[in-house]
Homo-oligomer: A and B are copies of this chain.
Amino acid sequence: MSEIKDKSIQVFLDELASKSSTPGGGSAAAVMGAQSAALTSMVCNLTIGKPKYEEVDADMRSLLVKSEALREKMTGMIKADVEVFNRVMATYGMPKSTDEEKAARSAEIQEALKVATEVPLECARACAEAIELSREAAEKGNVNVVSDAGVAVMAAYGALKSAALNVYINVGSIKDQGFADSSMAELEKILEGAGVATEEVYQLVKSKL
């Protein structure tokens, strides 16, 4: 089966809408995050080399390297979400006839849930970075495409709040309280900062239109 990123947008949307559990919200969040990074890259690409923006040329080249790396990371997360979902489902299907089987199954479920928490948490971290990259694009980039930096920040914020839901779901079933608490604490910190940052970037974009 081909990777999701190699499917057409139409086919991806059809599969998203279908009664198959995957791809689901986690993959949709990753697509939004990748769109955010791509739009920041677009602002860079339409600023670099323009005489009017010579002063920020080096900054925009450096920003482009970061946004393209982030886009690649986010694109990889489209399938990562499906993989962790399938792994969790597989562990729930493990045999549980004997005490030994039950213990092995339970351990595997807990391990899979940790991965299923870490993947959307990593997506949330990447989204927070995408918000900051869009801020630099909005501040220094070609003003003719500043609205694209505004779309970038909203796509990243939507992806972040979406990824958060997948962290919440999985954390709720994790028995390792230390892992659960530290994941939640990190997520809440990311969300708090990102909400404020998103509003700042959006208002900056609006003021430049």
- Chain A interfacial positions (CB closer than 8 Å to B): 4-10, 12-14, 16-19, 21, 24-26, 28-29, 31-32, 34-35, 37-39, 41-42, 45-46, 67-68, 71, 75, 78, 145, 147-148, 150-152, 154-155, 157-159, 161-162, 165-166, 168-169, 172, 202, 205-206, 209
Please determine whether B39 and A24 come into contact, CB atoms closer than 8 angstroms.
yes
A39 to B13, CA, bound (A): 9
B contact residues around A5 at 8 Å (CB)? 8-10, 13
Please determine whether A162 and B169 come into contact, CB atoms closer than 8 angstroms.
no
Nearest CB to that of A156 among chain B residues? Answer: B158
Shortest C-beta distance, A59 to chain B (Å), equals 17
Please determine whether A6 and B6 come into contact, CB atoms closer than 8 angstroms.
no
Q: Which of B7, B17, B159 contacts A9 (CB 8 A)?
A: B7
B contact residues around A41 at 8 Å (CB)? 16-17
Please determine whether A71 and B13 come into contact, CB atoms closer than 8 angstroms.
yes
A145 to B6, CA, bound (A): 25
A154 in contact with B161 given A5-B9, A13-B34, A17-B42 (CB within 8 Å)? yes
Please determine whether B7 and A8 come into contact, CB atoms closer than 8 angstroms.
yes
B contact residues around A46 at 8 Å (CB)? 19, 21
Please determine whether A25 and B148 come into contact, CB atoms closer than 8 angstroms.
yes
A6 to B8, CA, bound (A): 5
For the complex with contacts A8-B9, A14-B38, 5 further pairs of A-B residues with Cβ separation under 8 Å are A5-B8, A10-B75, A16-B38, A17-B42, A28-B35
A25 to B39, CA, bound (A): 7
Report, nearest first, the 3 A-B pairs whose CB atoms are least far apart: A158-B158, A25-B151, A19-B45
Nearest CB to that of A40 among chain B residues? Answer: B17
Shortest C-beta distance, A128 to chain B (Å), equals 15
A25 in contact with B147 given A9-B4, A13-B34, A162-B154 (CB within 8 Å)? yes
A37 to B28, CA, bound (A): 11
Please determine whether B75 and A13 come into contact, CB atoms closer than 8 angstroms.
yes
